[in-house]
Structure 1
């Protein structure tokens, strides 16, 4: 049997209230029992004092009458009952304890008092100076029950029952009202499907934990929707970029097969090879992005950024324009050298493609970060397009003109690599040309 949060909270609150109420009721009853016991002790002591006054230095009659107590006896020190009330007439002495000194008195609780079988009694013993020999006066009253009296017990039980009922109903109502926003959020979340991510959960008006939860859920849904849209756009763009060279190659092959004698097969093979290379480049870039999106743990190691750049420049073949370097040693970062090398290669390819006379690469430490700068003196990128170029498959007209076979994934891959390393990659304004700046956290 499954219990709802509402029912469990109501049950828990009721049980806690019950325990506390029982403790309070027990304290009240115990206090009442003590008060009642003290009152009866006063009555019994008063009855014994009355016998002291009545029979001091006098011979008591065999039957005595003592008001306010259940029974009384006057007993000789040798244990013989001298006088008794009608209730215990002919019974043995009611108690055997004797005050140690005269004229002291003492009291005890006894459950074996003659004449009162099965009942516990309060017994008070007191010396009485009588004629001939001192006597011991015993008086008894029933010991009050633990609950004081029936009326008080009934009142407490009634109050406890009513209080528990009110607490249970009140808790059930208040928790239900508090969980109403959760129910609304659950209903809204149930409407969300893979094709409809526009739903948002209602945000409660009160500034409490539920409002914070609703805000976080909506923020998560916004990120999820943006991620899904980005993936859909990426899939569409990738499909288009892969389909275009395939379609072109197929058309050329179909035309060639219709008139094979008029076709320059070596040139066609060269063109088809170019299309295949472009498809291969797109597939490789898509694979790299997929691995970066999957948060595959990189093989990070402590690396001197200047040495890594210097090694990459040594391996690099001469390009259209020269590359100048300003590499300051001792800039250590934690990174995956292969990924950072791929990032540097993409940046250098892009810079050499757009540069007018040359490219500059610089490495330095700045404000607790390792900085890698790749600058070209080309036409530059307009400020409104400096974030657009980092979107997947986004290509500006100038880029398409300079590199028709480009994939539009180079700079997006570079930014993904920077983010995997908890760094940033941005385009800064150098005044003329393009300046891409990578910042990675330094290590000691």
Structure 2
């Protein structure tokens, strides 16, 4: 029976071993490998260039001596003995290949090169190597062959042993010195990379020290203005946003618990009293009281769900919405005065925008003395801008304006004005915070839980717009600006 070969575990090969090494080790190893290749290539090129330079020097000297001998031979001034001062060996052969002149100590019977090699060397004009041991010269020789008048040939040669010795010595130095250099470079790379990665290690330790209950913790930011500095700054900004979100979440939970406690306590009290004294209890009145508190709980739950959806960024579907029709229905439902321009269309969700209208109009009706006016108009691009410092926190509402103005289709301006007591200028931003009520005259039953304007602001911002409050002299005016739908979308 054939057995299936064992499967190798993922990551068990060389690639897996490499991935399991530390970043410092991998960077050092990679840098060392690259340096080793670069140094080896440089050493190879250096030895080659050095050898060519030394051989070229010998070739030039040998050629110069050969030319001098050829010139003397052509002028008939060449004696029996040829004297050189640089240990160059010279043989002069006649047309029959017999040696007629030579330097002292040079073989006068056997030419350094045979007839065939002499002929090829003359035609090519290039230096040739030959073994000097048969002629009593240790090591190789570098020779040049030139032709002279009367069929004579001049052979000039010089020992190549010195060049070989120089190249051998250079090679030994490189063989011994290159590994030492690589070790030093690897150690330097290890130290430099370790110092470079030290801020990342500090970031890791700082992140490990941050617990789920920690407050206002930040990661260490290195002094150097490099990528690690940017990473630490970005992470600290993220921690700040998370802390702010956590603080908002805790405040929301605390405020919601406080708001839920009152109607629940009222329901419990009414039911306990009714059960304790059933004989004298007006059950219809009790039911109405419990129903009223239950409606408060229902409205609070709906508001909290709406805020949770907005906080999660789950904006509703985007489609052309006839804002003029929504405003007309809100005006009829609340019995207020309307000044509505027809055909004003925005991109958004009709239910969310309807909630914005309901909250603003209901708030105005609740605090108006006699009159509430709801107006809607369209402004072309660049015709107006929201007033700074009211109803829109810095850096938050402005983003909506940018998105709204980017369409180039203008903005829809919705205003809800009442002639009530108004709100002091220093409090017009604070009323958009969640669970905010400004005066004790607004009871919980009448004023709600303080989430209406918070829902308005978050919804308008999610639709790319802004909302702020301004003085109506007398009264208060809420101004909502939303980007108009693009013409192709509105059609």
Give TM class, smaller chain.
0.7 to 0.9
- How do 1:37-56 and structure 2 match up within 5 A? 37-49=55-67, 52=70
Residue 362 of structure 1, CA deviation: 1.7
SS in 2 for 1:425: strand
Counterpart in the other structure of 1:176: 194
Q: Which stretch of structure 1 is more off in the superposition, 269-278 or 238-247?
A: 238-247
State the shift of 1:245 in Å.
1.9
Q: Aligned partners of 2:108, 2:34: CA distance in 1, in Å?
A: 49
Scaled by the length of structure 2, the TM-score of the pair is 0.75
When structure 1 is superposed on structure 2, of 254-263 and 78-87 the one drifting more is: 78-87
Distance 1:302 1:87, change over 3 A: farther
TM-score for both structures, normalised by structure 1: 0.82
Contact 2:121 2:128 in 1 (8 A): no
Q: Where does residue 203 of structure 1 map in the other structure?
A: 221
Q: Secondary structure of the equivalent of 1:48?
A: helix
Corresponding residue number in structure 2 for 1:136: 153
d(CA) in 2 for partners of 1:146 and 1:54?
Answer: 32
**Superposed CA offset, 1:1-40 (max 9, x none):** 4333333333344344444444544443333223211211
> In 2, are the aligned partners of 1:351 and 1:374 still within 8 Å (CA)?
yes
* Residues 252 and 67 (structure 1), Cα distance of their counterparts in 2 relative to 1, 3 Å cut: same
Aligned to 2:263: 245
Distance (whole Å) between structure 2 residues aligned to residue 434 and residue 402 of structure 1: 21
Q: Secondary structure at the match of 1:223?
A: helix
1:325 aligns with 2:338: yes
Which residue in the other structure is 1:6 paired with? 24
Name the CA shift for 1:88/1:243 in 2 (closer, same or farther; >3 Å): farther
In the other structure, the counterpart of 2:356 is 343
**Equivalent-residue separation in structure 2 for 1:418 and 1:170 (angstroms):** 58
User: What's the CA shift for 1:82?
Assistant: 7.9
* Partners of 1:139 and 1:191 in 2: CA distance: 83
Aligned to 1:106: 125
DSSP 3-state at the match of 2:353: helix
Contact 2:423 2:476 in 1 (8 A): yes
Match runs of 1:374-385 below 5 Å? 374-385=416-427
Q: Structure 1 residue aligned with 2:472, among 417, 430, 435? A: 430
Residues 109, 120 of structure 1: 8 Å contact kept: no
Q: C-alpha separation between the residues in 2 aligned to 1:147 and 1:325?
A: 107
CA RMSD of the aligned region, Å? 3.9
- Shifted more, 9-18 versus 85-94: the winner is 85-94
C-alpha displacement of 1:65:
9.5
Write the mapping of 1:148-297 to structure 2, written as runs, cut at 5 A. 149-156=167-174, 160-161=178-179, 163-297=181-315
After TM superposition, give the deviation of residue 263 of structure 1 in Å.
1.0
Alpha-carbon spacing, 1:398–1:49, altered in 2? closer, same or farther (3 Å): same
| Stretches of structure 1 lacking an aligned partner (at least 5 in a row) | none
Gap change, CA 1:370 and 1:81, over 3 Å in 2: farther
For residue 356 of structure 1, what is the aligned residue in structure 2?
369
**Which residue is equivalent to 1:412?**
454
Higher deviation after alignment, 399-408 or 340-349 = 399-408
Q: Which runs of 5+ in 2 are unaligned?
A: 1-16, 385-409, 487-491
Structure 2 vs 1, CA of residues 399 and 151 (structure 1 numbering), >3 Å: closer, same or farther? farther
Matched pairs, number:
433
> Which whole-Å CA distance do the structure 2 matches of 1:78 and 1:302 have between them?
110
- The residue aligned with 1:123 is 143
Deviates further, 276-285 or 182-191 = 182-191
Of residues 371-380 and 250-259 in structure 1, the stretch that sits farther from structure 2 once superposed is 250-259
Structure 2 residue matching 1:226: 3-state secondary structure = helix
User: 3-state DSSP class of the match of 1:98?
Assistant: helix
Larger mean CA deviation between 47-56 and 182-191 belongs to 47-56
Shift of 1:340: 0.9
Distance between the aligned counterparts of 2:342 and 2:281, measured in 1? 57
Aligned pair in 2 of structure 1 residues 110, 407: CA closer, same or farther (>3 Å)?
same
Alpha-carbon distance in 2 for matches of 1:233, 1:54: 111
Secondary structure of the structure 2 residue equivalent to 1:221: helix
Q: Secondary structure at the match of 2:145?
A: strand
Cα distance in 2 between the residues matched to 1:162 and 1:100: 45
| Partner Cα distance (2:268, 2:108) in 1 | 126
Taking a change above 3 Å as real, the CA distance of residues 418 and 399 of structure 1, as seen in their structure-2 partners, is farther
The 1:402–1:11 alpha-carbon spacing in structure 2 relative to 1, beyond 3 Å, is closer
Q: How does 1:358-397 map to 2 (within 5 A)?
A: 358-364=371-377, 365=379, 366-367=383-384, 368-397=410-439
Contact 1:301 1:336 in 2 (8 A): yes
* 3-state SS of paired residue (2:52): helix
Q: Which moved more, 1:245-254 or 1:352-361?
A: 245-254
Q: CA deviation at 1:378?
A: 0.9
